[in-house]
Amino acid sequence: MATKASVTMKMLANRVGNFVPTTCIKNISWLCHSQSQLLRGYTTEKKEQAIADDATPVDQKKVPQSLEIERLTQELAEVKEQNSELLDKYKRALADSENMRTRLNKQISDAKIFGIQSFCKDLLEVADTLGHATQAVPKEKLNGNSDLKNLFEGLSMTRASLLQVFKRHGLEPIDPINEKFNPNLHEALFQKEDSTVEANTVIEVTKLGYKLHERCIRPALVGVSK
C-alpha cells in the first residue's frame, strides 16, 4: 500500500515538474518519502497488534481448560469414592445374606433332625416302664411258671423292639457306669465313698439318659464316688 502511494506521488511530481519550480518538486519528493515511512510504520504496528491479538485468546483459553480439567478430576475422585463405598456395602450385604442363608439351612436341618425331640421324651417314659417291669420279674421263678416266663419274654421283646426304633431315629441310651462324671451328660443324685474307683466316677445309674443325634435330651441320673 505504501509503495503504490509513493509511485503515485512521483508520477504526479514528474507531470507537474514542467510547470512548477525545482524547489517545489523537491518538497513534494520529501513529502512522498515521509508518507511512505509513516505508512510502513503504521503497517508494522498493525501486524504486531494482530499477532498480539492472535496470541491473547490462546493464553486465555488455557485458563478455562485448566479449570475444566481440575473440575473433572475432582468429580472423578468423588465418583471413585462413591463406587468404593457402594462396593463395600454390596460385599457386606452379600456376606450378611450368605450368613443368613447358612443359619436358615442349619435351622431347617435341625428342625428335621430334632423335630421329634418332644415325642422321643414322651416315649422314654414307656421304655423306662418296660425296663422296670422286666427287672421286677424274679429270675428264679421263670422256669417253674410258664405264664410268667412268657410275660417276661414278651416285655423283653417289646422293650428291645422299642430300643431298635429309638436307634433307627438317632436316639441312643446313656449308661455311664464306671465312667468319669460328665456334667453335660450326667446328673449326680448323691456321692458315695468307694475306694475301688477314682473320685468323681459314676458307680451307680438310677435312670438311663438319652441322646438324640449327639444332643443330650435327658441326662442320666447317677451316683458318684468321692
Q: In the predicted model, what is the mean pLDDT of the chain?
A: 79
Please check whether residue 2 is in contact with residue 36, taking contact to mean a CB–CB distance below 8 angstroms. Answer: yes
Q: How far apart are CA 2 and CA 45, in angstroms?
A: 14
The model's pTM is 0.56
150 phi and psi, to 5 degrees? -65, -40
Cα 19 to chain center, whole Å?
Answer: 109
Q: What per-residue confidence (pLDDT) applies to 201? A: 93
Dist. CA 118–CA 122, nearest whole Å: 6
Decide if 185 contacts 216 (C-beta within 8 A).
Answer: yes
| pLDDT on residue 46 | 52
* Assigned C-alpha cell, 157: 421283646
Q: Name the residue among 195, 196, 194, 191 with its Cα closest to residue 181.
A: 191
| Structural contact between residues 185 and 219, judged by C-beta atoms closer than 8 angstroms | yes
- Model confidence at 54, in pLDDT bands (50, 70, 90)? low
- Name the 3-class secondary structure at 222: strand
Q: What is d(CA 150, CA 72) in angstroms, rounded to the nearest whole number?
A: 98
Higher pLDDT, 49 or 150: 150
**Could you tell me which residue, 140 or 31, shows the higher pLDDT?**
140
Looking at the chain, the whole-number percentage of residues with pLDDT higher than 70 is 72
Q: Across the strands, what pairs with 192?
A: 225
| Cβ 220 vs Cβ 208: under 8 Å | yes
Cβ atoms of residues 224 and 187 within 8 Å? no
Burial of residue 171 (CB within 10 Å: 0-12, 13-18, 19+) is buried
Residue 68 is predicted with a pLDDT of: 85
Residue 42: pLDDT band (50, 70, 90) is very low
**What does DSSP say about strands 186-192 and 202-207: parallel, antiparallel, or unpaired?**
unpaired
| Strand ordering across the sheet containing 202-207 | 186-192, 220-225, 202-207
Instruction: Flag whether pLDDT at 22 surpasses 80.
Output: no
> In the chain, count of helices (H) and strands (E)?
4, 6
List, for residues 122-153, the tens digit of each pLDDT value.
899 999 999 888 888 888 888 888 888 888 89
Count other C-beta atoms under 10 Å from residue 222's C-beta: 27
Tally of residues, the chain:
226
Does 221 score more than 70 pLDDT? yes
The full DSSP string for 131-177 is HHHHHHS-GGGTTT-HHHHHHHHHHHHHHHHHHHHHHHTTEEEE--T
